[in-house]
Amino acid sequence: MSRLNLNSILSWVDSHIIDYPTAMNLNYNWSFGSSAGFCLVIQILSGAFLAMHYAGETHYAFSSVEHIMRDVKSGWLIRYMHANGASFFFIVVYAHIFRGLYYGSYMEPRQQLWWSGALIYVLMMATAFIGYVLPWGQMSFWGATVITSLFSIFPFIGKEVVMWLWGGFTVGNPTLNRFFSLHYLLPFIIAGLVFVHLGLLHKDGSNNPLGIKTKTANVNFYPYMYVKDLVAFFVLLSVLSVVIFYFPNSLGDPDNYLEADPYGTPAHIVPEWYFLPFYAILRVIPNKVGGILTMGGAIAIIFLYPLLNTSILRSANFRPIYAVVFWLFVADFCLLAWSGTTPVDDYFKVIGAVVSIGYFAFFVFGGLFVGWLEKTLAFRALSK
């Protein structure tokens, strides 16, 4: 029985890793997925070591982080690896998403693959948010207060939901304990979903830059394609190492090196950089309920995009109109992130409103209208 199980495992490894058929024209854009998996491993391992020394209690949380940084052997390295690893995780995931948008990886028959990836992204945001609360610095405390207060929009039960999240009448020790437990649990759920994501990928096969499926142009993943993932792994590790050893605080907020003070609100409450585009959309609507619904819609439309698509072509390499719209969207997304860092005044609110409209316009215009326009132009060209 044990020999049979071993043979089954080896057969699975052989069919899904070694002899897995892969399009020979895959470029380094297809290495972002494996890089994201590498980042997940870093986060789980470093987080486990940090949890050994962290105290999930409001009076000791901030001091325990300082203890990790100053007294635990190599604790500073583990903490900086975890904090900056989260940023790099989002960098490669954003690149992975943009690659999927450019090459049409959300189209038939890969809608389920796209939805599983979008779900992983949402869980990543939840995990990153509650993890940012754990150091119990100024931005941690007030970020938790602001974000959890958003749940008060539920009619009739909103206040009860917020108090249930807090475990009391304000963000405090029960909140921190719950967030600590969830932050430890969610990465393992994400890891499970990653295997589901990989299973769906292997069921339908990888997309490729041409956007076509062929069995005659495939090669084995090993030894031909794993080399590209290996190169991407070393590039990611090198850049991450430079940030950790030379610029460890460049991606963080200085206010989070001050212990949480419920009586002193920071001058400008700003989330981590990877939340800034959605934060900008949230605050561009003056109405609280409208802002929250708009931000929720900005995340939900990622799930809906495969259903909005009307194009029969996948790759933007053969869709010049869509390619232009796509790069305008990338620029718009960067402007959204910048807009989230600006003060709330009339000038910047106008910019935020424009780029927020541009965000939604890409999914509607790029999905529905561009596909129809391409079909119309192709039909006219063939009719001549």
Q: Which residue has the tokens 């993943």?
A: 221
Q: Residue 332: how many CA atoms within 13 Å on its side-chain side?
A: 20
How would DSSP label each residue in 16-61? IIIS-EEETT--GGGGHHHHHHHHHHHHHHHHHHHHTT---STTTH
Point out the catalytic residue in the list 34, 87, 105, 229: 229
Choosing from 272, 311, 315, 332, the catalytic residue is 272
Residue 183 marked as a ligand binder: yes
53 carries a ligand binding annotation: no
Q: Which of 16, 53, 67, 202 is catalytic?
A: 202
Kind and range of the H or E run holding 242:
helix 226-246
Check the annotation: does 16 bind a ligand.
Answer: no
Question: Any catalytic annotation for residue 253?
Answer: no
- Among the listed residues 129, 126, 124, the one whose alpha carbon sits nearest the alpha carbon of residue 39: 124
- Is-catalytic flag, 349? no
Q: How far lies 135's CA from each of 72, 130, 198, in Å?
A: 16, 10, 33
CA distance 377 to 81: 51
CB contact set of 162 (below 8 Å; sequence gap of 6+): 148, 149, 151, 152
Contacts of 35 (CB under 8 A, 6+ apart): 92, 229, 232, 233, 236
229 is catalytic: yes
CA neighbor of 16 nearest in space, from 159, 162, 167, 198: 198
- Concatenate the DSSP letters of all residues of 5-17 into one string: HHHHHHHHHIIII
Q: Is 82 annotated as a binding residue?
A: yes
Out of 213, 228, 349, 375, the active site residue is 228
Annotated catalytic residue: which of 31, 34, 35, 206? 206
Q: Which residues are annotated as a binding site for a ubiquinone?
A: 202
Q: Which residues are annotated as a binding site for heme b?
A: 82, 96, 183, 197
Active site residues: 202, 206, 228-229, 272
